[in-house]
Amino acid sequence: MRIAFLSAACSIHTVRWVNALADRGHEIALFSLLRHADKMGSISQKITVYYLRGGYLSATQAFSRELAAFSPQVLNAHYATGYGTLARRSRFNPLLLSIWGSDIYDFPHFGPIHRH
């Protein structure tokens, strides 16, 4: 299966997910903001990694273009507020959104705009 991940490449959770699925024979592409790069070299060489410049909103066009070129069967975005927003702006379907604890427990308390 061709699976695109949209998540922080520096996160151990992301690394474990993409490496495990690649080891099971899936074709994986990982899209991450450049500021969240895998500096430890933990991501398997089996995985194609795309680093997006800018922020969650400004990277939409580049992400959509690269995602279309990879042509995944599913997009899995991790962390609802940042990468989830970027995934939704791409309008790609099917989209699987994986939420992590802090994006629903902490993020809404940052301010009124973050609650919606």
**Domain of residue 105, CATH code:** 3.40.50.2000
- For the whole model, what pTM was predicted? 0.86
Predicted confidence at residue 81, as pLDDT, reads 81
Average pLDDT per consecutive 10 residues, the chain (116 residues; last block may be shorter): 98 97 99 94 97 94 98 95 93 93 57 46
In the block, which residue shows the tokens 């993409």? 18
Q: The domain containing residue 10 runs over which residues? A: 2-115
Predicted confidence at residue 79, as pLDDT, reads 87
Predicted confidence at residue 108, as pLDDT, reads 54
How many domains is the chain built from? 1
Contacts of 8 (CB under 8 A, 6+ apart): 14, 32, 33, 36, 78, 79, 83
Neighbours of 36 (CB within 10 A): 17
CA-to-CA dists, residue 88 to 52, 66, 76, 77, 81, angstroms: 16, 15, 11, 9, 10
* Rounded Cα distance, 5 and 30, in Å: 5
What tokens does 73 get?
A: 């069967």
Q: 60-70 vs 83-90: helix axis angle to the nearest 10?
A: 70
